[in-house]
Amino acid sequence: MDKKLIAGIIIIAILVGGILVYTFGGDIPVSGEGNVSITDAAGRTVQVPAQVNKVVGTGCSGREIVYLNASDKMVGIEQMESNSTGAWGNQLPYMIAHPELLKLPVVANARTDTVYYEKLAEVDPDVVFVGTAEQADNVQTKTGIPAVVVYVGAVETPEQMDKYKESLKMMGRVLGKEDRADELINYINSYEEDLAKRTAGVSSNKTVYIAGQAYYGTHGITSTNAFYPPFIMVNADNVASAMNTTTNATLHAISVDKEQLVTWNPDMIFVEGSSAESIINDTNQNTVYQSINAVKNGDVYDVLPYCLFSYNKDSMIADAYYIGKILYPEQFADVDPEEKANEIFMKFNGGSGELVYSTLKTQYGGFKKMDI
């Protein structure tokens, strides 16, 4: 064969190979026919298809698949995302925005850390997102489906937020949604920057407390969060920050003594909407809470659930704007919290995102004062 012809073929092959690598995600190394190599949140190296058309999110990661505009790739959901008895499908923002997902088969149960392997094999996803390395190894061993560990947990410290953003980027690479991952991270950054700018150098002179922090269900008034992100975002003076320890940053919530809450005597109490009924029962049964400034002066406010089937980052940001409006009315004079919530839910979830806040308002009462 003519040497020039051979050289031409080699050059064309190199160019085509380069285009394919670029198409599969820039710096993601191609490793095997049709596969790419991914380093997941647990540091595992996983071979996944270069083109993912079907995905399942376990370990509460379905939310982030929706955030990444990949809901059309989902072929299964978790039990708590359904409308079955005891589930929260109709209360989760991303499921409200995409009710079509409720029709998908249930393939796992995050509450019991269970994967239904036969069901998972039936829907045959190209990749499964999971919460732990152990679960990933089990999925791969029992089904042969690539399993990628992701981080979709709390974002209450800078380290946790950085880990979350890196996980979003990695998920974006797997799903072919890198641009969307960058867009989503830019949304988060811009909201953080706006809230910080509005509250820089000002003080409300009010102490605050989040009541009814949910974890594995709803809780009473003594369940709180020393690292409650909406408070941090607006530089609020959280009385529970006295318990601001590295250990508590890794917990779903902390429980304080009734006497401690009375001693802290917060000026304002914000209540996670999903726990409102429990908190009303608490205050009705324990008259000692009536001595707290917030209760005595009627400064108790309902907010959307931040922690419900893991952490709703969209609700978290919407809550921050509402809390900012209450604490710093002058600095947030241009903000209508309900309109801002609509904007945030639409940006994060797409679909019917504009219906999310009104649906949650019907269920939990929305942004309003509470009488407890």
* pLDDT value, residue 201: 93
Exposure string (b/e) for 132-157, b if CB count within 10 Å is 16 or more? eeebbeebbeebebbbbbbbbbbbbb
* pLDDT value, residue 54: 98
- Say whether 278 sits in a helix, a strand or coil: helix
Q: How far is CA 193 from CA 196, 197, 201, 298, in A?
A: 5, 6, 14, 31
Give one DSSP letter per residue of 35-86, joined into a string. EEEEE-TTS-EEEEESS---EEE-TT-HHHHHHTT-GGGEEEEEGGGSSSTT
* pLDDT value, residue 30: 47
What CATH code is assigned to 201-369? 3.40.50.1980
* pLDDT value, residue 88: 84
* pLDDT value, residue 85: 83
Q: Give the predicted TM-score (pTM) of the model.
A: 0.89
- Structurally, at CATH architecture level, domain 35-176 sits in 3-Layer(aba) Sandwich (3.40)
Tokens of residue 108, six digits: 């796992």
Tokens of residue 182, six digits: 């960058």
pLDDT average per 10 residues of sequence, the chain (372 residues): 47 43 40 82 97 97 98 97 88 97 95 92 98 96 98 94 98 98 98 98 94 76 93 96 63 82 97 88 90 96 92 97 98 98 98 97 94 85
* pLDDT value, residue 275: 86
